[in-house]
Chains A and B, each alone.
Chain A
Amino acid sequence: MQTTRIGCGAGFAGDRIEPAEDLLRRAGLADLVLECLGERTIALAQQRRLTDPGGGYDHRLPARFERLLPLAVEHGVRVLTNMGAANPLAAGRVTRALLDRIGARVAVAVVTGDDVLGEVDLDAPAWENGIPLREHGEIVSANAYLGADAILPALDAGADVIITGRVADPSLFLAPLAHRLGWDLGDIATTAAGTLVGHLLECAGQLTGGYFADPGHQDVPDLANLGFPLADVAADGTAELGKLPGTGGLLSRATVREQLLYEITDPAAYRTPDVVLDVRAVTVDEHSRGVRVAGARGMPRPDRLKVSVGYRAGKKVEAEISYVGPNAAARAALAGEIVTTRLNGLPLRAEVLGGETDCRLRVAAINRDDAVLEAIGDEVESLYTNGPAGGGGVRVHIGEVLGIASTLIPRELVRPVVTLVETADVAP
C-alpha cells in the first residue's frame, strides 16, 4: 500500500529548531509541518501589523527558515507552516527573498482569507461567557480557522513552501496527506484518519516524551536531545508513529494516549473545519519500532467555522517579593495584607507561592488605567523598607493583555485565497 512520511518540526512559536533540522537531514520526509501559531499569537501579531504594515508574521520566521529551508530544498521536503500569522503575504515575500538569496527556485504559496474582521458578527455572544463580542473591549482581530480545503489548491499548484495564517492545526497535516495519498476530503474515513495524525503530531515533542517526565516515577531518556515525531501514513489512514534513532525522548502507548486526548472536550466529537472526529475507537499499539494508530471515525464537517476574536483587555501588572527562613510564610502573608490594605479595594489577586520557609508574595491585576497598575507595582516595591523583615528580590512586570473570545461564522462567508509568491518585492 502507498505510504507517505510526514514530520512535525515545531509545536509552538518558541519551539527548538535542531529537531526539525535533524528530521530534514535524516528522516526522508515528504512533508514537514511547523505549527507555530497559538490562539493568542495571532492577536499579538495583528497588533504588530497595525504599527508596521510589513510586519505581523511570526517574528521568528526568518531565523527558523534561515536554518530549515536550505535543508528542505536540499532534501526535497515540502514545508507547511502557519507562521504567516496576521500577515501571510508579507511572510511569503520574506521567504521568497530568502530562497532567492540561496538560489532556490522552489515555489512559495500563501494561503489567506482567515481574516474575517469585516465579516464576523460582533454583536454575537462569545462562546466563553455569552457576552456580546464587542463588549469585551476594542476588537483587534478576528480569524477563522480554515481547513485543509483552503490549503489543497496551493499543493495542487505545485508549491514547495506553504505559508498560512490561522488554519486548524490538524488541517496543516491533513492537506499534504490528502495530496500525497490521493484522498478526497469528502471521504470521512480518510479525512478522520488524517485529522487524527495531525492532532497527534501538531504539538511536536509533546508526542515523543516532552511534557511527560516525572523523575524517578516516569523517566524519559535524554530530554535535552528530544526528537520530534514523524508518521508513515498509509493510503487506508493507518499510521506508524516514530522518531529518529539516536534522539532523546520516549514514544510509547502512554505518550501517544496523552496526546490523543489533549485538549479534546468531547472524545466523540472533536470539531475541525474538515471533519467531526471521534477518537473513542482509536487503537494505539506499541511495538519495537514505534507506535501504530488506527480506528479514527468521523462525521461530516461542520457548517460553521470557529473564529478567534482578539480584543484589548487592558494591561496586567505582576509584582513579587521573596521571604525565606523561619516564619517566611507569615511574613509574606503580612506583606500581602499591607499591600491590599493600602490599595484599599482595588481588584487584584494577592497570593503566597512556595513553602513555609521559602516563598514569594505575588500580586497581580488587570486594569485599563496605567496609574493603577503602577501604584500596585510601587506598593510591592515599597515593602523593601516599609514591610515585614527580610523581603528581597522584587520584580515588577507590566504588559499589555490581549483577550481572546470565540464565535462561529457560516462557512460561505469565508473565502480562502491561494497566492503564489513569485517575486519578493510586491507591494503589501
Chain B
Amino acid sequence: MLLHDLAHCRAGDKGNVATLSVFPYDERLFPLLLREVTAERVREHLAEFVAGPVVRYELPNLAALHFVCHQVIDGGVTTSLALDTHGKSLSSRLLSLPVNAAGDVTGRTATR
C-alpha cells in the first residue's frame, strides 16, 4: 500500500527548505502514520531531492505530521534549474512512499 491510499499531502517552500505536511484521511490512522512515516524514511525516500536533514513535527491536535526538509537540491525557486522550481511536486513524490498498513486499515481510505 502506498501513503497515497491513506493520506493527502501539501508541499510548501521557503528558499531551499521544503515543508511537507501529511494528513490521514481517517484520523484514526494517525498512529500508523507516526509509526510508518518517520523522518528517516522520508529522508531516504526523497534522497534524490533533499540533501540535508529532515525534521518531523507531530501535531496530534491536527492529526498531521509536518516534515521540514533542508537543502532541497533543486530548491531556491529563483536560481533552480529544475522544471518545478518550487519543489511543489515533492508532495506527490512523498505520497508514493510504501507503507505497511496490515491490520490497521479497516475503514475508508481516500474520501470525498
Interface residues of A (CB under 8 A from B): 39-40, 127-128, 211-212, 214, 217-220, 250, 252, 254, 257-267, 280-284, 313, 316, 348-349, 353, 362, 364-366, 401-404, 406
Contact B62 A261 (CB under 8 A): yes
Contact B61 A265 (CB under 8 A): no
* Beta-carbon contacts under 8 Å, B1-45 to A: 4, 8, 10, 12-17, 19, 21, 23, 25
Q: Which of A218, A257, A362 has the most CB of B within 10 A?
A: A257
Cα A263 to Cα B15 with chains together (Å): 10
Interface residues of B (CB under 8 A from A): 4, 8, 10, 12-17, 19, 21, 23, 25, 57, 59, 61-64, 66, 68, 76-79, 81-83, 110-112
Contact check: which of B15, B59, B79, B110 meets A218 at CB < 8 Å?
Answer: B110
Contact B110 A265 (CB under 8 A): no
Contact B16 A281 (CB under 8 A): no
- List the B side residues contacting A281 at CB < 8 Å: 61
Contact A280 B13 (CB under 8 A): no
- List the B side residues contacting A219 at CB < 8 Å: 112
- List the A side residues contacting B68 at CB < 8 Å: 265-266
Given the interface contacts A211-B10, A258-B10, does A263 sit within 8 Å of B83 by beta carbon? no
Contact A264 B62 (CB under 8 A): no
Contact check: which of B15, B21, B77 meets A262 at CB < 8 Å?
Answer: B21
Contact B78 A267 (CB under 8 A): no
Cα A377 to Cα B62 with chains together (Å): 48
- List the B side residues contacting A280 at CB < 8 Å: 59, 61
Contact B81 A366 (CB under 8 A): yes
Contact A257 B62 (CB under 8 A): yes
Q: How far is the CB of B75 from chain A (nearest CB, A)?
A: 9
Q: A-B pairs with the 3 shortest C-beta distances?
A: A263-B12, A261-B21, A258-B10
Q: Which of A212, A214, A402 has the most CB of B within 10 A?
A: A214
- List the B side residues contacting A402 at CB < 8 Å: 78
Q: How far is the CB of A235 from chain B (nearest CB, A)?
A: 24
Contact check: which of A257, A263, A283 meets B19 at CB < 8 Å?
Answer: A263
